[in-house]
């Protein structure tokens, strides 16, 4: 086979395999009730019908769910602009909408991997990297449930690339788009605050204000009372219960050990200490950014296995940064990247155990064992000044 033919065949083969996986998830979705995509779909339908002012009213949501789903699903508890992200799915039925969103999520996932590899050169064959990353369990969990985390991955990827190029303001703005799941973004923004990255924070704040303006346009000023009421009372609603044992973070570990919910103040203290430590340990763009992402996952208040798709960035960076892939890295990479172990932990509701390899990954990114010291990363860029962003 000639070189041009091979160049064309590789992406076609990888995309065909991804479409096959989408088809498998689609068949499962049609036969399984209660998938997360259902409440995204209903929320998008409400906004498309001009009912954004009722979007954060649980009773109104349940009425819409009863009409569309013939039952009650998980409440839609995200900022209203999330419904705009899912707007294309409203052009079809529930099943058709899921298929549309699966295609969109797959494209966002592929775009993230290709963008990161083009910038940092993790491997020579980018489509091989896409194929390897597709086997990562959180990627498939994101596609299977219809969650929005592929969009978050794309936002973080664009933000990292822009930060690497020295475009701090644009980097902050790109990351602000991920505020649709603000609990997975605000801790990272705190790291940048501790580092006094004012241009980044200005861009981030500008995006946040724009997002709030869109939210007000959709839901009206009532969001300031309705949304907090929905979030604070969600545990008392049908299917509003959360399972910390399925979270790979401090909250999950505390619940597993004590059999009690971790106090909010304790989670906040642990998060603050961890984020300050990461901010003070920041040595270069790639490892600093990745360590901050990893610490954000570890100390977040809420996060299930599909949210771990964000760890694709730290895992790739750790692979690239390592001077010598020592035993700790092999262990961490195996426990997180090989699907069988995370799959078994999901099935047994012991995802909290993944906190151990995630924590070690964070330590590897900060320590010289992963980065080989700041100098090793500087050698990989054309302009060493960019590594101080």
pLDDT above 90: residue 389: no
pLDDT tier for residue 179 given thresholds of 50, 70 and 90: very high
More confident of the two residues 5 and 298: 298
Give the integer Cα–Cα distance in Å for 50 and 139: 33
Give the integer Cα–Cα distance in Å for 233 and 214: 24
pLDDT above 60: residue 378: no
Give the integer Cα–Cα distance in Å for 116 and 318: 13
Give residue-wise pLDDT tens across range 104-118: 999 999 999 999 999
Residue ranges of the alpha helices (H) in 49-179? 58-69, 81-85, 94-120, 126-134, 137-145, 149-164, 168-176
Minimum mean pLDDT among 70-74, 189-193, 333-337, 357-361: which range?
333-337
What pLDDT was estimated at residue 348? 80
- How wide is the angle at C-alpha 164 spanned by C-alphas 369 and 122, nearest 5°? 55
Minimum mean pLDDT among 49-53, 153-157, 339-343, 359-363: which range?
339-343
Give the integer Cα–Cα distance in Å for 347 and 137: 12
**Span 332-360, average pLDDT:** 81
What pLDDT was estimated at residue 370? 44
pLDDT tier for residue 327 given thresholds of 50, 70 and 90: low
Read off the tokens for 14. 């990888």
Minimum mean pLDDT among 188-192, 257-261, 344-348: which range?
344-348
pLDDT tier for residue 197 given thresholds of 50, 70 and 90: very high
pLDDT tier for residue 6 given thresholds of 50, 70 and 90: low
Read off the tokens for 366. 């900060």
pLDDT tier for residue 322 given thresholds of 50, 70 and 90: low
Read off the tokens for 52. 């954004």
Number of neighbouring beta carbons within 10 Å of residue 372? 16
DSSP 247-280: --SHHHHHHHHHSSPPPHHHHHHHHHHHHHHHHH
pLDDT above 60: residue 388: no
Give the integer Cα–Cα distance in Å for 139 and 144: 9
What pLDDT was estimated at residue 14? 87
Read off the tokens for 341. 């172990």
Q: Are 250 and 355 in contact (CB under 8 A)?
A: yes
pLDDT above 50: residue 385: no
pTM: 0.90
pLDDT above 80: residue 374: no
Read off the tokens for 343. 């799959």
**By C-alpha distance, which of 297, 314, 312, 306 is closest to 355?**
297
Give residue-wise pLDDT tens across range 212-233: 999 999 999 988 999 999 988 8
Question: What is the SS3 assignment for 375?
Answer: helix
**Span 166-195, average pLDDT:** 96
Give residue-wise pLDDT tens across range 38-95: 999 999 999 999 999 999 999 999 999 999 998 888 889 999 999 999 999 999 999 9
pLDDT above 50: residue 382: no
pLDDT above 70: residue 381: no
pLDDT above 80: residue 308: yes
Q: Are 32 and 94 in contact (CB under 8 A)?
A: no
pLDDT tier for residue 330 given thresholds of 50, 70 and 90: low
Number of neighbouring beta carbons within 10 Å of residue 5? 9
With 0-12 / 13-18 / 19 or more C-beta atoms within 10 angstroms meaning exposed / middle / buried, residue 2 is exposed
pLDDT tier for residue 366 given thresholds of 50, 70 and 90: confident
Give the integer Cα–Cα distance in Å for 163 and 181: 21
The answer for residues whose C-beta is within 8 angstroms of residue 113's C-beta and 6 or more apart is 126, 129, 130, 133, 312
What pLDDT was estimated at residue 37? 94
pLDDT tier for residue 384 given thresholds of 50, 70 and 90: very low
Residue with tokens 């605000």: 186
């Amino acid at each position: 086979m000639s070189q041009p033919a091979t160049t064309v065949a590789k992406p076609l083969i990888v995309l065909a395999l991804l479409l096959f996986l989408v088809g498998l998830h689609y068949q499962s979705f049609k036969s399984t009730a209660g998938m997360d995509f259902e409440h995204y779909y209903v929320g998008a339908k409400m906004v498309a019908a001009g009912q954004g002012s009722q979007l954060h009213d649980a009773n109104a949501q349940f009425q819409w769910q009863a009409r569309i789903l013939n039952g009650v699903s998980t409440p839609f508890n995200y900022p209203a602009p999330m419904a705009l992200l899912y707007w294309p799915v409203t052009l079809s039925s529930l099943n058709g909408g899921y298929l549309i969103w699966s295609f969109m999520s797959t494209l966002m996932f592929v775009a993230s991997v290709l963008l990161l590899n083009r910038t940092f050169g993790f491997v020579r064959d980018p489509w091989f990297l896409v194929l390897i990353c597709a086997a990562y369990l959180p990627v498939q969990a994101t596609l299977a449930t219809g969650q929005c985390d592929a969009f978050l991955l794309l936002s973080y990827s664009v933000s990292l690339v822009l930060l690497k190029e020295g475009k701090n303001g644009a980097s902050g703005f790109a990351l602000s788009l991920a505020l649709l799941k603000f609990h997975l973004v605000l801790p990272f923004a705190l790291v940048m605050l501790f580092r006094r990255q004012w241009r980044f924070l200005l861009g981030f704040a500008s995006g946040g204000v724009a997002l709030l303006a869109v939210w007000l346009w959709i839901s009206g000023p009532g969001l300031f009372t309705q949304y907090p009421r929905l979030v604070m009372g969600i545990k008392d609603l049908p299917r509003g219960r959360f399972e910390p044992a399925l979270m790979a973070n401090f909250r999950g570990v505390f619940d597993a050990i004590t059999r009690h919910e971790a106090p909010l103040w304790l989670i906040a203290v642990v998060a603050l200490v961890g984020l300050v430590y990461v901010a003070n340990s920041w040595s270069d763009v790639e490892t600093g950014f990745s360590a901050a992402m990893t610490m954000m996952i570890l100390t977040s208040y809420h996060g299930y296995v599909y949210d771990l798709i964000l760890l694709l960035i730290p895992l790739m960076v750790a692979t690239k940064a390592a001077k010598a892939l020592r035993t700790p890295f092999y262990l961490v990479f195996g426990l997180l990247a090989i699907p069988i172990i995370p799959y078994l932990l999901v099935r047994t509701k012991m995802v909290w155990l993944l906190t151990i390899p995630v924590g070690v990954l964070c330590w590897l990114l900060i320590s010289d064992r992963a980065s080989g010291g700041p100098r090793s990363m500087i050698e990989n860029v054309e302009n060493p000044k960019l590594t101080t962003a």
